[in-house]
Amino acid sequence: MIQIKTDEDIEAMREPARLAAEVLLMIEPYVKPGITTNRLNDLCHDYIVSHGAVPSPLNYRGFPKSICSSINEEICHGIPSERKLRNGDVINLDITTYMNGFHGDTSKTFFVGSPRKKISRLVETCQQSLQKAIDVVRPGARLGDIGATIQNLAEGRGYSVVREFCGHGIGRNFHEDPQVLHLGKFGEGVELKKGMVFTIEPMINEGEPGLKVLSDKWTAVTKDGSISAQFEHTLAVIQGGCEVLTRLDGQTSF
């Protein structure tokens, strides 16, 4: 059942959503060759708790860390470890914070050192697909419009869309209805209404869409070993459009 948020609920959600966005801004200078994903996790954890919030992933269904860190062929849910980043890697950092009784969720794919031209195009496409999907969100639109927008852009450039994972409603619970698929058909699916709050988080693969989950039971990787990229925002449907809750004032590129 989809939980329609009141204006007061959305106001309360702005703070955890803003904090999640600030974590991504804070951590970016540290995303360099040689740093471990455990160190990135610890820096994010300390920043979140120092601002009076809780990292939502920590102990969620047994997840052992405060953020997800997914490198190269890892699609999502990568567990921070002593693995060191290398020049040319890409890494997605997925940040969710909990405060005021609500969650805020965002993620971004970063380049480590010098980006490879081939991978830059993939990452750019993923980011653009998220923005174009955001642009169609308004009361009266359909969930299928979001998925079709992402799918058409990604597949039109020769990439594939991950099918097993999707965006989700968010609020007092980390994951709520509706499921927000990143593929679909225009005009189909649930009608968007004012007060709906959900994430859009396309995962775009350089190669085939297939995936497998590693023995840690969390980390999803591409079956063919190709690179994957992901970006995510939390947004609220408002009169005439939407408000991106995890976008900081003045940000335009993400």
The boundaries of the domain holding residue 31 are 7-244
Return the half-sphere exposure (C-beta side, CA atoms, 13 A cut-off) of residue 57.
25
- Report the C-alpha gap between 134 and 111 in whole angstroms: 23
Amino acid found at 211: L
Q: Looking at residue 161, which CATH number applies to its domain?
A: 3.90.230.10
What b-and-e string marks burial along 59-80, b requiring 16 or more CB atoms within 10 Å of the CB? eeeebebbbbbbbbbbbbbbbb
Q: Examine residue 64 and state whether it is found in any structural domain, yes or no.
A: yes
Asked if residue 115 has a cis previous peptide bond (ω within 30° of 0), the answer is: no
Q: What are the tens digits of pLDDT across the range 31-46? A: 999 999 999 999 999 9
Q: Examine residue 251 and state whether it is found in any structural domain, yes or no.
A: no
Question: What tokens appear for 19 in the block?
Answer: 């904090």
Q: Examine residue 254 and state whether it is found in any structural domain, yes or no.
A: no
The alpha carbon of residue 113 and the mean position of all alpha carbons in its chain are separated, in whole angstroms, by: 22
Q: Examine residue 253 and state whether it is found in any structural domain, yes or no.
A: no
Q: Examine residue 122 and state whether it is found in any structural domain, yes or no.
A: yes
Q: Report how many domains make up the chain.
A: 1
Q: Examine residue 252 and state whether it is found in any structural domain, yes or no.
A: no
For residue 116, the model assigns a pLDDT of 86
For residue 72, the model assigns a pLDDT of 98
Q: Examine residue 50 and state whether it is found in any structural domain, yes or no.
A: yes
Q: Examine residue 109 and state whether it is found in any structural domain, yes or no.
A: yes
Residue-wise pLDDT tens for the chain (254 aa)? 999 999 999 999 999 999 999 999 999 999 999 999 999 999 999 999 999 999 999 999 999 999 999 999 999 999 999 999 999 999 999 999 999 999 999 999 999 999 888 999 999 999 999 999 999 999 999 999 999 999 999 999 999 999 999 999 999 999 999 999 999 999 999 999 999 999 999 999 999 999 999 999 999 999 999 999 999 999 999 999 999 999 998 776 78
Q: What are the tens digits of pLDDT across the range 176-200? A: 999 999 999 999 999 999 999 999 9
Q: Most distant CA pair in the chain: distance in Å?
A: 48
